[in-house]
Structure 1
Amino acid sequence: MGIEHPKYRVAVVQAAPAFLDLDASIDKSIALIEEAATKGAKLIAFPEAFIPGYPWYIWLDSPAWAIGRGFVQRYFDNSLSYDSPEAERLRLAVKKAGLTAVFGLSERDGGSLYLAQWLVGPDGETIAKRRKLRPTHAERTVYGEGDGSDLAVHDLKGIGRLGALCCWEHLQPLSKYAMYAQNEQVHVAAWPSFSLYDPFAPALGWEVNNAASRVYAVEGSCFVLAPCATVSQAMVDELCDRDDKHALLHVGGGHAAIYGPDGSSIAEKLPPDQEGLLIADIDLGAIGVAKNAADPAGHYSRPDVTRLLLNKKPSKRVEHFALPLDNFEDVDAAAS
C-alpha cells in the first residue's frame, strides 16, 4: 500500500502593509486570512515584517533623520508583542479560519525588536516563534539576533514538515543546509518588497532574490512559498521627503511566487503593484521524485568530506541557578 501524501491548497500574500499602524496591520492580516480560507487554502504565508511594515527608512537617510522624523519611536510602539491583545486577535482569526498561518512581523520583546516569523496552527495555538538569525546590513540598527533554535522544521498533520526563513537568510548556505537536513517539505521564504535602489542594486532586486527562492526549492527538493510585500504610494509619500529619495524607493516591488520541488513556478504571478493572494495546489508526493535525482542532505551528500556543525541551544541572556547550601561558605570566603 502506498503512502498517502498530503495534498492541499496554499495562499501566498502579496500586499502593502498598513505601515506603522499595528491595529490596521492586524485588521489587514485578518482580512487576508479570511480571504485565503474562502479560497480553500490550508496554509497562508505572509511577507517579512508585514506587521507593521518593513522599516524602509533605514536605507534612505541617517539614524538621526529617522529619529527626528519619529520613525524609530513609531516603529517600536507599533511592533507586536507575543502576549498582547493584538497577537491574540491574530491567533483567534487563524482558529476561526481553520488553517495554518506563517506570519512575518517585527516582534517587540522588552526593549528589543526582532525580525520574527510566527507559525500558528488551525487550533489557534502557536507552533513556533522564530527570529532572523542575523539581520542584514542596516537592519542591525533596528533588530536583535536570533539563535540556533530558530533553524527548525515542524512536522504538522495535514501540512507536512514546515519551515521558514526571512529574506537574505536564503543567501546563507549553512543555514539553508540545516533546514534541508531536517527533511523540510514546505518552506516559507518571506521577503519585504523589491522596491529599493531599483535598478541600481541588482542584489536587492527581484530577479536575484526570486532566483534564491527558486534555488532553495531545487536544493531542498521542497515546495517554496515566497510571499512579498508591496510599497504603496502613501508609504513613498511619507518616507521620501526629498526628490532624490524618490529614486531610492518606488511604488510596487511585489514579486511573490510559489515554486515546486523541481524549481517550477506553480502559481501565476501578480503585477508588481497589485495586491492579492497567489493560490496553488500542492502534492507532497512530488518531493520523492525530486529527491530521487538529488538530495543534498541525504544520498547526494558526502559527510566524510564536508559536514555542518549546528548549535540549536537557545541563547539566553540570563541563566538562573542556585548554589548548593554547602557551597555558601566557600562563596562568602571568596567574596571577602
Structure 2
Amino acid sequence: MSVTHPKFKAAAVQASPVFLDLDATVDKCIGLIKEAAGAGAELIAFPETFLPGYPWHIWLDAPAWGMQFVQRYFDNSLTYGSPQAERLSKAAKDNSIMVVMGLSERKGGSLYMGQWIIGADGATIAQRRKLKPTHVERTVFGEGDGTDLAVHDTPLGRVGALCCWEHLQPLSKYAMYAQDEQIHIAAWPSFSLYRGGAYALGAEVNNAASRIYAVEGGCYVIAPCATVSQEMIEQLCTDEMKKNLLLPGGGFAQIYAPDGQLISATLPEDEEGLVYADIDLGMISLAKAAADPAGHYSRPDVTRLLLNRTPGDRVILQDRGDRQIPASAVAVEADAVEETAGSEEAA
C-alpha cells in the first residue's frame, strides 16, 4: 500500500507591527493572514512578540529610561480569550489556514513571550511560552516551563515552535527533535540591533541557527522575522546615539528544508511581505536516513536527556492538610501512567 505525505504551501511573515498598538497590529495580522491564504498557503507564521512588537527599549538605555514604555507595553499585550484574540481565531477559521502567532502574552500582572498555534478551524492547538527570556528580556517577561517544549499532531504534520535564542539551547532543541518534529516555527524579532559589532545578534549567525536546526532535526524550519519601521525608530530613539543602535529594516524571513537548503525567496531587509515555500513531508525520510539524532544516530547508552514536563504551577492549593494537585499536573501524571502502561505491555 502506498503512503501519501502531506504537501502544502507555508508562509513566513517579514513585516513590522504597528508598534504598541494591539488593535492596529491585529488588523495588520488579519490582512497578512488573508494574503497568505489567498496565495494558497495553509500555514502562516509570525515573528517573535509581533503583538504588540518586540520591546526594543530594553536594549537602548537604562531601565529607568525604559519605564516610560512599561505600562503601554503591558496594556497592549494580548490576553487569551480577549476580543482581539477572538478576532485572530476567527481569521484563521475564515481563511482555513493554520496561524502561528508571536505575542507578548498578558496573564494577570505578568507578561510572557508566547507563541500561539491556531488551527485552520480556529481552535487552539497550543499556547507556549519562551522557556528562558534572553538577557534583558528577563526585565519584562516571565519564564515558561517544561510543557512548552512540545510538538503537536496537526492535519499538516507534527508542528513545534521556539523563539529566537531558544535555538541556541542544545538540550531544548534535542527535546523537540526527540518528539518527531516535522514542521518547526523559528520566530525571530528582527536583526536590527547593534549591527557591525555584535555578530551574535546579527542575521548571519541567527539564520545559521535556523538552518542548523533544520539539518539537525531533519525537519522544515519556517523562520519569520520582523522589521523595524521608521515609525518605531521615531518612538524609541530619542537621541542620535539610540538611532545608531537600532536601525531600520532587519527583516530576514526564510524557510529551510530538512537538508538545510533555503527553499523560499528572500526579500530586501527593509521590505515588508511574505515569503513562501512548498512543504513535502516525504522529504524528511531522506534527511533522516543520513542522520536522525534522536533515533539511529544517537547513543543513549552514553548521553541521554531528562525532560521534565511538569507544569510550573505557582500555587498549590491545600485543604485541611491534604495536598490538592493542580489540574495541569493531573493531566501530566495521567499521561505518565499511560506511557508506563504502554511500556509494560510492550515488554
What is aligned with 1:116?
114
Aligned length: 322
What is aligned with 2:179?
182
What is aligned with 2:270?
273
What is aligned with 1:61?
61
Q: Deviations over 1:54-73 (max 9, x none)?
A: 00000000111111xx2111
What is aligned with 1:51?
51
Q: Aligned partners of 2:126 and 2:212: how far apart in 1?
A: 25
Q: Does 1:81 align with 2:68?
A: no
Three-state SS of the structure 2 residue aligned to 1:305 is coil
Three-state SS of the structure 2 residue aligned to 1:303 is coil
Q: Aligned partners of 1:3 and 1:125: how far apart in 2?
A: 28
Moved over 4 A (4+): none
Q: Does 1:248 align with 2:245?
A: yes
Question: What is the deviation of 1:323?
Answer: 3.7
Alignment of 1:263-302 (within 5 A): 263-302=260-299
Q: Aligned partners of 1:133 and 1:46: how far apart in 2?
A: 18
AA at the equivalent of 2:191: F
What is aligned with 1:100?
98
Question: What is the deviation of 1:238?
Answer: 1.1
Q: TM-score if structure 1 supplies the norm length?
A: 0.95
Q: 1:204 aligns with which of 201, 204, 214?
A: 201
Q: Aligned partners of 1:200 and 1:52: how far apart in 2?
A: 28
Q: Aligned partners of 1:62 and 1:224: how far apart in 2?
A: 35
What is aligned with 1:330?
none
Q: Aligned partners of 1:306 and 1:66: how far apart in 2?
A: 44
AA at the equivalent of 2:22: L
Question: What is the deviation of 1:82?
Answer: 0.3
Q: TM-score if structure 2 supplies the norm length?
A: 0.92
Alignment of 1:159-174 (within 5 A): 159-174=156-171
Question: What is the deviation of 1:83?
Answer: 1.8
Three-state SS of the structure 2 residue aligned to 1:207 is helix
What is aligned with 1:261?
258
What is aligned with 1:5?
5
Q: In percent, how many aligned pairs have the same letter?
A: 68
AA at the equivalent of 1:2: S
What is aligned with 2:314?
317
What is aligned with 1:31?
31
Three-state SS of the structure 1 residue aligned to 2:312 is coil
- Gaps (5+ residues) in structure 1? 326-336
Question: What is the deviation of 1:324?
Answer: 7.2
Cα root mean square deviation, aligned: 0.9
What is aligned with 2:18?
18
What is aligned with 1:332?
none
What is aligned with 1:306?
303
Alignment of 1:108-147 (within 5 A): 108-147=106-145
Question: What is the deviation of 1:2?
Answer: 2.3
Question: What is the deviation of 1:262?
Answer: 0.1
Question: What is the deviation of 1:246?
Answer: 1.2
